[in-house]
Amino acid sequence: MAEVQLKHVEKVYKGAGAKRRFKKKQAEKKNNLKITDEGVVAVEDFNLDVADGEFVVLVGPSGCGKSTTLRMVAGLEEITRGEVYIDGKLVNDVAPKDRDIAMVFQNYALYPHKTVRANLEFPLKLRKVPKEERTRKVEEVARILDITLYLDRKPKALSGGQRQRVAIGRAIVREPKVLLMDEPLSNLDAKLRNQMRAELIKLRKSVDTTFMYVTHDQTEAMTLGDRIVIMKDGMMQQVGTPEEVYDHPANIFVAGFIGTPQMNFMDAELKRDSSGAYAVEVNGATFVPAAAKQEQLRRRGVGPQKVTLGVRPEHIQLHADGAHTLEGTVEVTELMGSALHVHLRACGQDVVVIMQGMGDDTLSFGVHTGDKVPFTFGGGAIHLFDPETGENLE
């Protein structure tokens, strides 16, 4: 295992060609990277310490710079500025083969003319590992990944999930200090992705290495990572455990990106009475933040102002009574097995509510398109953001 440190790392793609490609993607609204006289800034002032044996996931939308960051750690992209350390050693000018890392790619990158066994043995042969030891390591990795039955087959005879297991096996068989994985599950269908996520969780417990994993799928990030790094437009937005980024998002982007369906946002006004207590008014209804949130707002000296209120779909209750309620019109309902996703039009915005079934045979939720329904949410479920900067006011 090894610690990985990135200090003020930046990647700038230089030249007129890079600027043209960037402007095209910007016109297509695929990203909003910074452009300077030097070129297109794909990664800006990136700082991260990955501990020995930690599983860190870089997550964000396409074009946010997460794969570029991983490739700089691997040595496949030149670092424009900053420093990368692996196991305490500066590796900016160290060749990829000498960094003691392994990488798993999105497209498997297996040798089609070699058997699974030969694919797994290949990195060991390059290091001139004796044949008996090669055989032992290959069979051990095959057992861990449950691919022993396929050792004498070629990749074309395997399914997508099996090929990805072989690609992972080829990476871990040489026992690298750091294992880098660049969207390894994105080519698999939904069922295989779920299975492979579970396999990766089990693999992590049996392999003694440090993981850096890139994905655009926030479900993968939440289930796999010890910590998550959320990126947008080449910049780090927040680093934390899955619980931290879900319960305490740093800004509107993180709040909307983490969680499925995404957090609901409403225009609101934060008020404060003579005793110093806060309340939030939304479309005539008043909601009182929980005591812990009140204390955080006071500590930060937040004054009365217009805010963006955020609340997650699972924290909204329909058919509520009382003064602290809003009303919405049901536009769409989506039955998702034991839960119903209800899309409301409320306060001039779209609001999604998750209703959980009660376990009966009928799963009758009592909600139909066109219904007008009251809804509410508790003070502990409220998130408050600055509408201009997007920052979490708490």
pLDDT in tens, 4-21: 999 999 999 987 666 666
303, 244: one domain: no
Query: What is the Cα–Cα distance from 11 to 48, expressed in whole angstroms?
Result: 15
| Mean pLDDT calculated for residue range 80-107 | 94
pLDDT over 60 (residue 359): no
Residue 362, pLDDT score: 46
Say how far apart CA 251 and CA 391 lie, in whole Å.
Answer: 4
- Report the chain's C-alpha Rg in angstroms: 25
Tell me: do 242 and 355 sit in the same domain: no
Same domain, 208 and 280: no
Task: State which residues form the domain around 239.
Answer: 4-251
Tell whether 209 and 347 lie within a shared domain. Answer: no
**28-44 per-position pLDDT tens digit:** 556 677 788 888 899 99
345 lies in the same domain as 237: no
For residue 332, being part of any structural domain is answered with yes
Is 326 contained in some domain? yes
Q: In this structure, are 196 and 177 located in the same domain?
A: yes
Residues 215 and 285 in one domain: no
User: Does residue 162 contact residue 115 with C-beta atoms inside 8 Å?
Assistant: no
Q: What is the pLDDT, as a whole number, of residue 185? A: 87
pLDDT in tens, 363-378: 557 788 999 999 999 9
- Rounded CA-CA distance 370/298 in Å is 41
- In whole angstroms, what is the distance from residue 362 CA to residue 161 CA? 36
Q: Are residues 320 and 226 in the same domain?
A: no
In whole angstroms, what is the distance from residue 136 CA to residue 355 CA?
Answer: 52
Q: What is the CATH number of the domain that holds 178?
A: 3.40.50.300
Q: What's the CATH number where 292 sits?
A: 2.40.50.140
What is the predicted pLDDT for the residue at 27? 54
